[in-house]
Structure 1
Amino acid sequence: MRTRVLTVVLAFVVLAVAGFAVPLLAVTSAQRTQQLVAARTADLDRFAGLAEQAAESDDTGALTADVRRYTELYGEAVVVVDARRAPVVQTGGLRAADPAVARLVDAALRNQPVSPGGTLRPWSRADRLLARPVGTGTRVSGAVVLRASVRVAADDIALRWALVLAGAGLLAVACVLLARAATRWVVRPLHRLDRAVGTLAAGLPPEHARAGGPPELRQLATGFNRMADGVTTALEQQRRLVADTSHQLRNPLAALRLRIDSLQPHLRASATRTYTGVTGELERMEHLLDDLLTLANAEHRAGELAVSDARESCCDATAVTAAQARLWQPVAEQAGVRLEFVPGPAVLMACPEGELAQVADILFDNAIKYAGGGARVEARCIGEGPDTVLEVRDNGPGLAAGELSRAGTRFWRSERHREVRGSGLGLAIAERLVAGHTGHVEFTAAEPHGLRVRVVLPKGHPA
């Protein structure tokens, strides 16, 4: 936003500075050009007066001396001719026979004074020719042509332009600094609000956004702080309710298990089935409480990672997955599942070793439970461009096409797996942990049948 605001303000500043600088430059050039023309016109008038006196007295000595002295002082050539176009005096290499001079002489003998057209610029270097008739309006006795040098005038214009442009530059810099200060004053509260919103969205208690900037933003910050307090309180109460409930239920469940276990020796053989069902339900409740606590911790961890830049922790995904596969090997053999890890080169993954091991445990647990006896579970770690992928696939029954999009949803389980022990929270926990490290989990069907789960995370960089 700050860039867009600065772009608009700077465009306005450029237009405003150009709006007064360009006309000022044009006026400066026009004024200096007029000064040059006025000065040379006065010189022409003086030469024309001397030429008229010389024509009346047939004495050109004063005219010749004055013209030559002028050329020596200023380096500008002068040509004076009589009514028959015969040269009276010629200086500075200018000749009456020159085509350009001849045209001006013809115009002057027709009583038409000639002044140079166009406005001078700093880069102007070509000399200008001016002509003036000698005599009165009814009787023209000759003409005077002067070749004026524009270098001094052009240098003056260049100096004035430099001063104008320097002033315009200073004004533009002042406007830019003012614009930056103004936009910072407006945008800084928005940055603070954005950080607070990100923290709140991650489920963490946000810092109160300091009220600053325009009155509208101060009012917005105050309203956000009130809302954040309410949302934070509600989230904390919810998190505390889950954690406290899980902790508080552990003791009654533990006591209930002890009492039920103490009853086992006193039960008749016909009550064994009921006893087994009760203990199974107790185990399911214990697993559910453990998963709820794990999910709450995963969400809190994901929220911390979402608002921090501390993602430097990385691990060798190949080594971690291979170690977890060895730990799950006895469980797979007991379930009649063949668990294999495909060896490969070491690939770094931007995830701490403990959290990756936890994700791998969840994937192995689900694959062994739902693939079924006689199935084959295969795991591997590969690098794909900027990402590292942990892939676990099985050749079990898998999921239907409509069920793949629901995999990972909390408490969701396929209808075919209702009898399998589980809470439906394992993949949700894995997804929250992976999402905290800017990764994602993909669920696709394996060929010819089965399920393929891919954990995609950015590659890690060694410290």
Structure 2
Amino acid sequence: MSRPAGREPRRLTRWWRRRSLRTRLTVIAATAIAVSVFVAFQVASELLGWELEDTAENQLRADSRVLATTAERAGLARVQLPPYPGSGRLVRVILPDGSTRTPAGQPALPPVSEHAGRVAQGASADLMESKDSDEDGYRIYTLRAGDGAVQVARVVDDSPINRFGLGMLLIGLLCMVGGALVGRTVARTGLAPIDRLTAAAVRVAHTRDLDADIPDEGGGEIRRLIQSINDMLAALRDSRRAQRLLAEDAAHELKTPLTSLRLNVELLIRLDRRGTLDSALPAESRTRLLNDLGAQVGELSTLAAELTDLARGDVSDESTEVLDLADVVVAAATRARSRVPDIEVALDVTSVWVSGRPAALERAVLNLIDNAGKWSPADQPVQVRLRAEGASAVLEVDDAGPGIDAADVPRVFDRFYRADSARALPGSGLGLSIVQRVVDAHGGRATVARSARGGALLRVGLPAAAPPAPTARLTAGGDTAVR
């Protein structure tokens, strides 16, 4: 049963991919040397063959000229042919009638070819040709002499090339072995930083110790790889530290409302079990206690939602789009009024386009308005202003409250930070931290200052974007309007 034609290459590819990088480098080095030696052998063999052939032909021509000169002087039929030395040169005289003369004891040459006969007849001056007999191959040079021709031949000897090839083969094998050893050594030396990097990564994975930076060594790609992994470890350390701080702060902030909620619930349960709930807690006190429970549950719900939003960081499925920030501000102000009817919001906004995530920006603006609403007196509105300022969209939210102390300004946007004056007010200390995160994610900047009314002025600057191209839409009457 025959195998599919493409299976073997795929199997070889899978085998190659399973090899280690050190093995691959060794095989590549040995193969490269073997190919180089083979190509060098082929080129050298061809050059050597041409050189030997050229030398042999030149020698045949020289010997033929000497023999032709002697034959013309003495006559082809009477010239004395040199005795056969036992090897090397062979001679022959072609007489005008086509017969031949050879020295005594000389091995028989191949029959005179038709072309050589034409030289003897004067059709051409000379001829170099190769002939094969039953045992040997000959290189024969025919030269016109008198009324006939003389021939000088040599047995084609491939032994020098064969010996050269054997020598090159042995050298090639030695070079392959040496190349494999060199490749192995180079691979071991070159991959030593990778081995140490792997060991360090395995150690970090096993010990979960992100503080163990990998020593920066080597150069080029290895150094960049080590620096990249160290940067990744640093980012993981920062992420773990941020998670730990978030967990610690969350536990601290959850402790107080949970404790209060648990005590109030335990009080209700204990009074209910004794049957003294109505007598111990008058209707007014019971209503106040239930309202406190509802407020505490609401505070916990708000804190949990803010913790979830903060823990998600910059991860969001919401896509970025070009939007009018004025629409976002108006929507946030509307939500603030619906959540706390007592908040009065005065809007002074102009159309400014930005590139961002609508829901995240609306949440940030809502937090700014909620924060200002907690401090602004009942008869003083929260002022929200939006304008274009150069290449930025500037949003300002100020209140007429007591303002922010200078000592608290550097920590206003920290998570869970609450000034001493704000601890009696509802809130988790996460609202402005979420604002800071959203602004940073949009490439903006959030600052705090004192407003002209004496309260806090929270200022957000975001990079402005070009408004989208106007699109045509149909009005109710069927006319076309441009938006």
Q: Name the TM-score class by shorter chain.
A: 0.3 to 0.5
Question: Which structure has the larger Rg?
Answer: 2
- Per residue, is there more helix in 1 or in 2? 1
TM-score with structure 2 setting the length: 0.42
